[in-house]
Structure 1
Amino acid sequence: MGKFVENRPVIALDFPAFSDVKNFLEKFGQDEKLYVKVGMELFYAAGPDVVKYIKSLGHDVFLDLKLHDIPNTVKSAMKVIANLGVDLTNVHAAGGVEMMQEALDGLAGTTKLIAVTQLTSTSEAQMQAFQNIQTSLTESVVHYAQKTAEAGLAGVVCSAQEVELIKKATSEDFICLTPGIRPAGAAVGDQKRVMTPSRARQIGSDFIVVGRPITQAENPVSAYHLIKNDWLQK
C-alpha cells in the first residue's frame, strides 16, 4: 500500500466570527464533506462551540493552535482538545521532544498530532536574524522533522518545498501538511514559500491547506473544486 494522501484540500476558515463560518459552509451542499482548519483567530473568537458545530455537519477539523509551552501545560491543554473530537491538531516542534511526547499523552490516541517546523511566512534571513539559528532554513526544518518523528508524532507542518527532504530524513509515511498553497496566478499574500496544488501533490505533500484563494473567492465553491481537481492530478 502507498502512503496516505488526504483527497481534499483543507480549507483554512480564517474568519473573525462564528456567523462567517456558518455563512461560508452553507454555500456547500449537505453531501459535500469538507476538511477545514480552525485557527487561532476563529477559535479565540468563537471557542469550542465552533468546532462542535462544524463536526455536527460531518466535516473533518484540523485545530491549528500551535501549542508551545512547558510539557505539563501542553499535556493539560491536549486533554481538553481531546474532548472536542477534532481529527488533527498541532504543536510547535521548537517546544522539544518531551513537550511533544506529553502532548501525545494528553490526546490519548483521540486524534493525529503533528508539529510546526518553520512557518511558511519565515524566510531564511528572518530565521537567522531573529531566531539566531545559523543553519539554512532547510536544515532547520529537517532537524525539527526528525525530532518530531523521534517524539512519535504523525508528521509536520512544512513548506511544500521541504517535503522531499523530510520524507528522506524520516519515512514515506511521515505526514507532511503544507500551507502556503496557491493556484497558478493567485496572490502570494504574506506567504514566502508557496506552491501550486498539483506541484505539491507531485512532490509528496499529504495534506494541503488553502485559505484566501477559496474563502475570498467570488465563488468559493467553484474555487474549492478547481483547487481540489488540481490537487488530485497525478
Structure 2
Amino acid sequence: MSKTKLIIALDLETREQNLSLCKNLAKNNLNDLYLKVGLRSFIRDGVTFIKELQDLGFKVFLDLKLYDIPNTMLDSIKEIIKLNVSMITIHASSGRRAMSDIANYLKDNSSSLVFAVSALTSFSKEEFKEIYNDEINKAILNFSTIASECGINGIVCSPLESGFIKNNINNILTLTPGIRPISSDFNNRIIMDDFKDDQKRISSINAALKQKSDFIVIGRPIYNSKDPILITKYIISKLKEAK
C-alpha cells in the first residue's frame, strides 16, 4: 500500500445526517475514500444504507468487530461478503481457528480485506491489564503475530502501536482509529478544535504517518467541524503529499 488512506467514520445521530454528509462529499468529488459503517449505523440503517453509499461511489468498511465461535463467525462472513464491502473487522481474541477459517475462505471467495482488532483504542493500559491480565504492547504484538500467521490482511490498533507492529511483522496492514487532527498537521493553515471523547490511545495525523499507518479513521473532527468538506480536502491532500 503506497499511500495512507482516509476512512471517515459515519457515527452521526441519524441515517439522514450520515447520508447528507456522504452526498456532500460525493458532490465535491471526495469519494476516493472509505466510509466506516459501524455497529449502531448498521443495526439502524441496514443493508440498503450500504448500497446507497456504494452507489455514491464510496468504498465501504463494515466495522462489526465479529467475535463468536468459529462457525458462527465464518457463517457471518459468508453473508457479509454478499454486500461487496471492501473491508471487514473481526476480533483477534476470537482465536487462531476462527481467524484461519475466515482468511482461508476469503482468499478463495472475496477480495474484501479483513482486519483483526487487537485492543480497542478506548482501553487505557490499566483497563487492558484488568481485562486481559497482560501488558498491552506485548499482547498486541502477540495478537498481530497470530493474525498474520492465519493470513489476516491487517490489524486494527492505535497509532501508538502501528510502527511497533510494522517493525516486527512483515507484510501486514495497520488500520488506526483514534486520529485527532491538530492544526500543525496542516502547517496551521486550518485551526482544529480540541475534541474530547472516550478514546484513550489517540494521535495526530503526522504521528500516525510516522508510525506507518495504512488507513486512518477520522469521524467527529470532520463531521462536527464548521466545514467538513474543507477539512476532508486538507486531510486527503496531506495524505497524498506524505512520503
Per the normalisation by structure 2, the TM-score is: 0.88
Change (3 A) 1:6 1:48: farther
> How far apart, in 2, do the equivalents of 1:64 and 1:42 lie?
10
Deviation at 1:201, TM superposition (A): 1.0
Structure 2 equivalent of residue 55 of structure 1: 54
Deviation at 1:102, TM superposition (A): 2.1
> How far apart, in 2, do the equivalents of 1:132 and 1:25 lie?
38
> How far apart, in 2, do the equivalents of 1:188 and 1:114 lie?
26
Structure 1 equivalent of residue 121 of structure 2: 120
Aligned pairs (5 A) from 1:85-96: 85-96=84-95
> How far apart, in 2, do the equivalents of 1:169 and 1:213 lie?
31
> How far apart, in 1, do the equivalents of 2:77 and 2:37 lie?
15
Structure 1 equivalent of residue 17 of structure 2: 20
Larger mean CA deviation between 150-159 and 19-28 belongs to 19-28
Q: What is the one-letter code of the residue matched to 1:174?
A: I
Structure 2 equivalent of residue 40 of structure 1: 39
Deviation at 1:25, TM superposition (A): 1.2
Q: What is the one-letter code of the residue matched to 1:127?
A: F
Structure 2 equivalent of residue 147 of structure 1: 146
CA deviation string 1:173-215 (max 9, x = no partner): 2101001001126324211111111221122111100010011
Larger mean CA deviation between 68-77 and 102-111 belongs to 102-111
Contact 2:116/2:147 (CA < 8 Å) preserved in 1? yes
Contact 1:82/1:106 (CA < 8 Å) preserved in 2? no
Change (3 A) 1:5 1:61: farther
Q: What is the one-letter code of the residue matched to 2:11?
A: D
Structure 1 equivalent of residue 175 of structure 2: 177
Which structure 1 residue ranges, 4+ long, deviate > 6 Å from structure 2? none
Per the normalisation by structure 1, the TM-score is: 0.91
> How far apart, in 2, do the equivalents of 1:137 and 1:7 lie?
25
Structure 1 equivalent of residue 133 of structure 2: 133
> How far apart, in 2, do the equivalents of 1:81 and 1:43 lie?
12
Unaligned runs of 5+ in 1: none
> How far apart, in 2, do the equivalents of 1:52 and 1:25 lie?
13
Identity %: 32
CA deviation string 1:36-84 (max 9, x = no partner): 1110010010111111111111101111000000000001000111100
* Count, aligned residues: 228
Change (3 A) 1:90 1:5: farther
Unaligned runs of 5+ in 2: 183-192
